[in-house]
Chains A and B, each alone.
Chain A
Amino acid sequence: DGGITQSPKYLFRKEGQNVTLSCEQNLNHDAMYWYRQDPGQGLRLIYYSQIVNDFQKGDIAEGYSVSREKKESFPLTVTSAQKNPTAFYLCASSIVGLQPQHFGDGTRLSIL
């Protein structure tokens, strides 16, 4: 079945540690996105990519990094510079801009 797969579902980070969240899609979508959701709040865009080997910062990119080496994959690294990383992280993809986005089932990141 086509879809977006995020892993792991739950992730715990120690202080000063970098962690990488995986996002893979087999929908043949060009565009991929990373969002962060905090309790009781809307989604905020971290990074997005419209094409392989290219990506742009969203509204809250500080403390995060991404890569887009393959069309299917858009991993997100939460670096030690992100001081408040505890949140629900959602990856999404779409055919092109202005089209609806389809989401993976998310990764919950917590600090140990």
Chain B
Amino acid sequence: RKEVEQDPGPFNVPEGATVAFNCTYSNSASQSFFWYRQDCRKEPKLLMSVYSSGNEDGRFTAQLNRASQYISLLIRDSKLSDSATYLCVVSYNQGGKLIFGQGTELSVKP
């Protein structure tokens, strides 16, 4: 079983749609959680950290369920510019080693 698992997609949605991604992780000692965005042939960029209480940044909402060991990302009112691959990332030791999911591809169509 992979340490971090995501549905690879692709998710094809129309502009304005709401889309949700889920991610599960296997190590219960995981301590830090992030969502990164990666555009085609580019480097990953931090989208948002994920906090236990859940957090929101504009159209993006991230939630963490430690009991079930999953993380979610909700995107409201999708824009064409949201088209990218979204990477779920966890960390569980002081060395800062990040474990990346394989990513979920999102394609927003006009």
Contact = CB atoms under 8 A, between A and B. Distances in A.
A interface, how many residues as a size bin? 20 to 34
A105 interface: yes
Contact of B101 (A35, A40, A42, A97): A42
B97 A41 contact: no
Contact of B91 (A44, A97, A103, A104): A97
Interface majority SS on B: helix, strand, loop or mixed? Answer: loop
B interface, how many residues as a size bin? 20 to 34
A42 B102 contact: yes
Interface of A: 31, 33, 35, 40-45, 48, 50, 56, 58, 88, 90, 94, 96-106
Interface of B: 4, 8, 31-32, 34, 41-46, 49, 87, 91, 93-98, 100-103
